[in-house]
Structures are given as structure tokens and as C-alpha cells.
Chain A
Amino acid sequence: MSNPTVNTNSLGDSETKAGDPIEKIGGATATYVDQRLGSNRFLGRNLGKVFPDHWSFMLGEIALYSFIVVLLTGTYLTLFYNPSMAEVIYDGSYVPLKGVHMSDAYASTLNISFDVRGGLLIRQMHHWAALIFVAAVAVHMFRVFFTGAFRKPREFNWIVGVALTALALGAGFTGYSLPDDLLSGTGLQIIRGILQSIPLVGTWAAFLVFGGEFPGDDIIPRLYSAHILLIPGLILALITVHLMMVWTQKHTQFPGPGRTNDNVVGYPLLPVYMAKAGGFFFVVFGIIALIGGLVTINPIWIFGPYTPDQVTAGTQPDWYIGWLDGALRLMPNWESVIFGFTFSWNVLIPSVIIPGILFTGLALYPFLEAWATGDKREHNLLDRPRNAPVRTGIGVMAIVFYGILWIGGGNDIVATAFDLSINSLSWTLRIMLIIAPPIAFVITKRICLGLQRRDRDKLLHGYESGRVLRLPHGEFIEVHLPLNEKELAVISGKEDLRVLPAPAKADPDGVKNKMYPVQNLRHKLSVFFLGDNIEKPSQAEIDAGQAHAAHGAELEAPLHEYELLDQDPVGHGGVLHHPGMAKTNQEQIDQRQ
């Protein structure tokens, strides 16, 4: 394996050894292509590009690879799926539905499941891969958020990522609706309700989307073109932008030995990352194929065709829409009529306003944090989550909020599975939705600050070795040892930001400061963000601390003690060293021989 190299983007000397036939052919091919495309310079510049290494940097890769699986399997499905709401009588091989009236969309999905060779496997792979895609997008986003990778200069890429997340939800939901089974039709019915809850224009918006009354004949073909053309096209375009930005801005890295804000330490794209990424693609593909073949997902033949007069207990969306369904389920039944217009707060708030706030907040967060902390520097080194306690707390708070909504989305399943009353469960979740996130914030922040204190102790005193010594006067001490190079670099990579100064209400000449309220808000926010941070010791203090720990490490339980105990019972703890005595155990052993 090659050693990590500091960013040097050259392929090296590409002269071929005369006489080696393979290199000769390769060289000739490269020359042939280069004379027509001019590709050697481009490849030479880029194939040696260095990427940093950490397992969490591969979460985005899971998203990319599962998306590729979704595209491949989805292409196969389009060959057999028929996006039509025309009524047909089923005559396929699934007996319990034989002779039932249904839409062509549902019948063709049944055909894919039972009569197309490999159809069910591909359908299940498509659906599992879609669930994994959205999960990987979410976890990748957590990684970027908690490590502060969204900070300058990568704010735009964060926004692209937020857009990709929204598109992933859209892709998933449109796909969920296509089979036209009982679950997907019920989901569409809810979408129509959400559209109708938009004040003033809701009814017309619903007519526009569904082409008239629900369910109509238009919605499935419309969702189909969105699902297979519009949304995947946008996702592909944005993924390209996303990756190009990573390419030109270079990947962030965690602090470590030799890593600075101005370099990238890692391995070159060719051959190391090509091999790793290629291998990981096949791992992801393999896992998806395995569960696609072994585990049922969305058995639409059991749910039956959609008709608006039917609904099944336990109707659920896929996991990534579950939180919105949960918000709808937990919302109290509020509604008011203002000037003859009905405002359905019970639908509007959970399904339009809350997701609106969450996605807007998500997109704007990098700018809010930069403004509040006054941090305008470029950051190519990542934060450890503990070193930004407020950001980490906000992230955990959002996850807890989301998680409670998510549980709410399955409240009926949870109630039956754990023998609970659905009413008391819903009330518990409502109350928790309000009080649990702030509690999670406080706990997370405290944990982060505790870890910061521990880091400071390690810098000042070394780490606790677990070796306990008794000193001559009877005191017990635990020997501290200096940190190794890597840990020292990681811990001392912490960057301290200063709280912004409090603004003055008026300048010394008594002129009123018109910007005072804004500046004061900013000051307070910076206190909120940075006020409790544990300051990193100065370099001199760190050096002194590590040197002290190194000295402490030399302490040993002396051999003298046991040999001289009969003759020299002075004191009660034995002796460490008398003047003229051998100091270390090794010296004593040497002396005796």
C-alpha cells in the first residue's frame, strides 16, 4: 500500500519501459486517444487527485451507489409498467385477484410481480434501494452537519444537498404512488387533502394537480413523468454539480498529524480510491440484491387495487414520509373560518408549515451560524462535533423532533405491537414533541462540554495510564503518559472562536447607535453559540503538560524497596530513590549483575 501523500496532483513519470508489451500497447492506446481528444493532460492532472480517508466520508457514496441501482432497476421496470388509469379486468396468474376490476397501472405492476421474469426481484431491489438512498442521503447530511463541513467555502454545496434531499423525498413519494394499490391511493388522497388545506387557492391547486376530481384519470401518468424523467433528471444534474464542487473545492478532512487547512492528506484517486470506491459500489449493489431477493417489500397484491371507498388499517407511507404522516396524526383538530374562508390548521400546520420551516432552516443554517459566530474564515478542516456544542445540540434536537414525529407516523403499529392505547400514545408523543427536543439539546451540549474538558485535561496532563504508584510518603498517584502524535494532533486541532463584543448603545459622542438591536441580537447569539466553550490551552501550556507527563512516565516502583525492607524500615512507604542509588529498575538489575 502506498503511503499517504500530501496533495500532489501529478500522475508521475509516464514513460514506458521499452520492451514490455503490455505497457507498449497501453501507451500506444493512450497516445491514439490523446491525439484525438487531448485527454492525457486532463487525466494526468486529475487521476492523482488526493482524497482524505474516513469511513464517514463514504456515506455519500452509499447514496450515489444506491441511486445508480435505482436507475438501473427502474429502467427495467419501465419496460413493463403501464402508467394508465384505464380500468381493466385482471387475468394474470395471481388467483385471489382474478376477475377484479383495477387500473392498468396496478395490473401491470401485478404482472411485473408474478409474470415478468425476474420482475419481482427487480421491483423489490428498486424499492429497497430507494429506501436506502434516502437513508444514506439523510445520514450523509448528518455527517456534514455535525462536522461543520457546510462552513465557508461550502455553503452552496450544502444548499444543493438540501435540494437533493427534497428531490429524494419527491422521487420516493411519486414512486410509492405509481402501483395504484390501496396504500398508494390512500397516500394520494392525503396529498390531495394537503393541497386543499393551502388557504385560498387550495381547492384549485388540487384540481390542477389531479386534473379535476379525485382520483381522476390523470394523476398516475403525471406522477410517472415526474418519477422517471423530471425528478431523476434533476437529481442527476444536481449530483453532478454536487460532485464537481467537491472536486474543485477539495474534500474536507479531520484534524490529524500533518493535516492543515491548506492541504489534503490521503491517497490518490488512481489506484487507491478507484479500487475502494469500485469495491464499495459492488458491496452496496450486492447487499441490495441480497435483500431484494430475500425480503418482501410492498406486497401490493395483498393490499388490492385502489378505489376511493376502501382503506386498510395500518396504512403507512415509506419511512422518509413517515414524519409528515406523524405530524398530521399528532396535530390537534384545529380549524377556523375567517371571512368565509376555512383554514384547516390541523392539516396546514403539520404538512405545509412545519416542513416548510424545517427545510428553510436547513438551507439557511450555514449562513445563520456564520453570522452568529462572526466566523468568516475558510474551513477545510472539520470540527469534531464536541467542539461545536451548540451546533451538535441543535442537530440532536432536530433528530429527536424528527424521531418523535416518525414514531407518531406509525402510532397504530406501535400501539398494537406494545399493547398500548393509541390515544394515550398520541398524547405522550404530543407532549414529548414539545419538551423532549430542548432536553436533548441541553444534555447533548453538556456531554460535548464534558468531552472538551477531558480533552483539555489530556493536553495539560497527558492521559491516565491506569498504572497506580505509591510514593515514599504514602501517597498514591496514577501515572499520566504523554499523548501519541495522532491524538495530540486531533485534540489540539480545536479552533477557539471568540464571543463577539457587546455593542454600545451610543458612541462616545452620544450619537445613538441605530444598529444596536441587530448588533445586540448578534452578540447574544454569539454568546449562545460560543459562551460556554472550554478554551484550548496555549501551545506552551500543552508542551509543558506533555513534558510533565513524559517525566511522570519515568516513575517506576523501585526494586530497592523489597530488598532493603528488613534493614531500613524508615518511613512507611519504602523509598523511591536515595542519592547514589540506581534510579530505574533496569539500572538496578544491571548493577546487580
Chain B
Amino acid sequence: MKFLSARRRNPIVALFLLVAALGLTGISYSVVTTAKPAEAAMGSQTQVEEGKKLYLEGCSSCHGMDAEGTLNGPTLIGAGAAAVHFQVATGRMPLAAPGAQAVAKDPIYNVDEIAAMSAYIASLAPGPAIPTAEDLSYEGADQAKGGELFRINCAQCHQAAGGGGALTQGKYAPSLMSATPQEIYEAMVTGPQSMPVFSNETLPISEKQEITAYIMALQDAPSPGGLALGRLGPVVEGLFMWVAVFTALIAAAVWIGIKAR
């Protein structure tokens, strides 16, 4: 003990403590976040009751007292836990304002509350369940094959680089550059907003994992050519050329022209 107490005021200790605290937070965070979906899928009775209470407070004005749907919102019977988790955890629900489509924002409910609401909706009728950690594991999945699947199924709305694109009447396919594997999976099985459903019959879980692997690779991809310009393609490249490059060239021409006088 003497060894420790003699050195406890050493400046390096603060660094040790910081690293230890960060490590502990990180480990416990990862335990909490990976454990949750599995827990939520089970849905204990107290969770369902808690979820119903939250539902009545926050959702029933549009979706109806028994989730049967109203003129302002669709029925949630059969929507499944995955749909609830996707919509609420990405902050799309509850809706901030009526508009062309729900906009992603910081979630209003915490992890436990979302799990409770998911359990409640899942208890009404069977629907897509929250994916297990096994469903989401994309390690070893073939990202090249995922790329092909992505271009066949996703790129026409989400753009080949996953940057998102315009749909009709102000709707849009969002960027996938900050989507998590769970959100990607849930969006595919529930088909939120304008998106079609890619059920596990049409797109098996293994292929979903390949697509996820490709999107994750896109998110982490370095830009070998330099500044990426948002990877939005020729429109942004043209804008950059005119605004930055051509202005510089004209400035050089003016400079050389002035030198003459």
C-alpha cells in the first residue's frame, strides 16, 4: 500500500484515472447498448404496461387510443417492435411538425422508454421484431456482393454513395452516412415512409448483412482522390469548378493583364 499512497499525487495518476474511467464508461455503454435489443424483444408484462402508458401520453392523439389509427396517423397494430424502435430512436416520431415526411432529429425518449413502447406495440399483434445481435452481425459478410445488392435495390433512391436523394413532393430518401446497422435492418423490414418493405423472404438476412457491410464500408471509406465534395457527383463538381477554380483563373488573367499597364 505504501507504494501506491506514495505515488497517488503523481501527475501521471490523473491520466491513468481518466483512461480507466473512459474505458469503464465505454465498456458499460457497449454492454448496455448491445444488451437492449435482445431484452426488448422479450417484452415483459411490466414493460408492456409502461409502454402503453407512454403510448397514451405521446402517440395516441394521432395513432388512436388503441393504436387503431386516425385520419392523422396510420394504425400501429401489426407494425411491430422494429418499426417503433426505428421511428422513435431516430427521433422521427413523435412528429415535430406536419410536413412531406418525418424528419430525423434527436430522440425524445430514452432507451428504456423506447423498449417499453416497442414491447407494447409488439403485444398488440405480431410484426417485425427488433433484430438480435446475431441478425445484425455483418462481420465477414461479402461487401462486394452487398455493393451489388445495394446498387440494385437501394441506389435509385439513396444514391450510389448512400448520400440520399430527392423523391416526389418534397419527400426524400435520407442519407445513410450516419445510419447504424440496427436502423438499416429495421428500415428494410418495416419500410418506413416512402420506402418499400424488404422482408426476410425477399431479401434474406445474409443479404441484409452484406448490404449493411457495404454501407458501413461506405461510411468509413477514405477519399483517395482528396476533398470528397459530399460525393454528390457532377453538379457539385461543376459548381466547385466555376466558383473556386474558374474564379482563380480569371483572377490570374486579370493580374497578368494589369501588370502590362
Taking beta carbons and an 8 Å cutoff, which residues of A are in contact with B? 1, 53-59, 61-62, 95-100, 113-114, 120, 124, 128, 131-132, 135-136, 139, 182-183, 267, 272, 276, 279-280, 283-284, 287, 291, 293-299, 302-304, 309-319, 322, 409-413, 415-416, 419-424
Chain A nearest CB, measured from B193 CB (Å): 15
Per the 8 Å Cβ criterion, residues 222-248 of B in contact with A are: 223-229, 231-242, 244-246, 248
Decide: A53 and B260 in contact? CB cutoff 8 A: yes
Decide: B233 and A314 in contact? CB cutoff 8 A: yes
Chain A nearest CB, measured from B23 CB (Å): 31
Decide: A294 and B249 in contact? CB cutoff 8 A: no
B45 interfacial by beta-carbon distance below 8 Å: no
Decide: A136 and B249 in contact? CB cutoff 8 A: yes
Decide: A132 and B160 in contact? CB cutoff 8 A: no
Decide: B227 and A296 in contact? CB cutoff 8 A: yes
Decide: A280 and B227 in contact? CB cutoff 8 A: no
Chain A nearest CB, measured from B232 CB (Å): 6
- How far does the alpha carbon of A61 sit from the alpha carbon of B256 in the complex, in Å? 12
- How far does the alpha carbon of A416 sit from the alpha carbon of B236 in the complex, in Å? 13
> Given the complex, which residues of A lie within 8 Å of B107, measured CB to CB?
none
* Known A280-B253, A283-B252, A416-B166; further 18 A-B contacts with Cβ < 8 A: A96-B214, A131-B241, A132-B245, A132-B249, A182-B160, A283-B249, A283-B256, A287-B249, A293-B226, A302-B161, A304-B155, A313-B155, A318-B234, A319-B241, A322-B234, A421-B168, A421-B170, A424-B170
> Among the listed stretches B10-18, B116-124, B140-148, B201-209, which one makes contact with chain A, having 4 or more residues with CB under 8 Å of it?
B140-148
> Given the complex, which residues of A lie within 8 Å of B250, measured CB to CB?
55, 59, 139
Name B's interface SS. Answer: helix
> Given the complex, which residues of A lie within 8 Å of B147, measured CB to CB?
96-97, 100, 304
Decide: B242 and A313 in contact? CB cutoff 8 A: no
B227 in complex: contacting residue of A62, A100, A295, CB < 8 Å: A295
A58 in complex: contacting residue of B165, B168, B257, CB < 8 Å: B257
Assuming A98-B144, A297-B237, A318-B234, is B254 touching A313 (CB within 8 A)? no
Which B-chain residue is minimally distant from A1 (CB atoms)?
Answer: B260
> Given the complex, which residues of B lie within 8 Å of A297, measured CB to CB?
225, 237
Assuming A55-B256, A297-B237, A422-B166, is B144 touching A97 (CB within 8 A)? yes
Chain B nearest CB, measured from A471 CB (Å): 39
B218 interfacial by beta-carbon distance below 8 Å: yes
> Given the complex, which residues of B lie within 8 Å of A135, measured CB to CB?
241-242, 246
Decide: A304 and B148 in contact? CB cutoff 8 A: yes
Q: Which of B158, B168, B231, B234 gathers the greatest number of chain A CB atoms within 10 Å? A: B234
> Given the complex, which residues of B lie within 8 Å of A283, measured CB to CB?
249, 252, 256
Decide: B253 and A95 in contact? CB cutoff 8 A: no
Chain B nearest CB, measured from A505 CB (Å): 53
> Given the complex, which residues of A lie within 8 Å of B161, measured CB to CB?
299, 302-303
Chain B nearest CB, measured from A99 CB (Å): 5
B172 interfacial by beta-carbon distance below 8 Å: yes
Taking beta carbons and an 8 Å cutoff, which residues of B are in contact with A? 100, 142-145, 147-148, 151-152, 155-161, 163-170, 172-173, 214, 217-218, 221, 223-229, 231-242, 244-246, 248-250, 252-254, 256-261
Assuming A131-B241, A295-B240, A421-B170, is B151 touching A304 (CB within 8 A)? yes
> Given the complex, which residues of A lie within 8 Å of B223, measured CB to CB?
296, 299
8 A-B pairs whose Cβ atoms sit less than 8 Å apart in the complex: A139-B246, A182-B155, A284-B249, A312-B160, A319-B234, A319-B239, A413-B166, A416-B172
> Given the complex, which residues of A lie within 8 Å of B227, measured CB to CB?
294-296
Decide: B231 and A410 in contact? CB cutoff 8 A: no
Chain A nearest CB, measured from B259 CB (Å): 8
Chain B nearest CB, measured from A190 CB (Å): 14
- How far does the alpha carbon of A131 sit from the alpha carbon of B244 in the complex, in Å? 13
A55 in complex: contacting residue of B148, B173, B253, CB < 8 Å: B253
Decide: A99 and B257 in contact? CB cutoff 8 A: no
Which A-chain residue is minimally distant from B148 (CB atoms)?
Answer: A100
Chain A nearest CB, measured from B238 CB (Å): 3
B144 in complex: contacting residue of A55, A57, A95, A318, CB < 8 Å: A95
> Given the complex, which residues of B lie within 8 Å of A267, measured CB to CB?
260
Closest 6 CB pairs of A and B: A313-B165, A319-B238, A55-B257, A296-B225, A421-B170, A312-B160
- How far does the alpha carbon of A128 sit from the alpha carbon of B245 in the complex, in Å? 9
- How far does the alpha carbon of A334 sit from the alpha carbon of B91 in the complex, in Å? 42
Which B-chain residue is minimally distant from A266 (CB atoms)?
Answer: B260
Chain A nearest CB, measured from B214 CB (Å): 6
- How far does the alpha carbon of A416 sit from the alpha carbon of B169 in the complex, in Å? 11
> Given the complex, which residues of A lie within 8 Å of B235, measured CB to CB?
314, 316, 319, 322, 409-410, 413
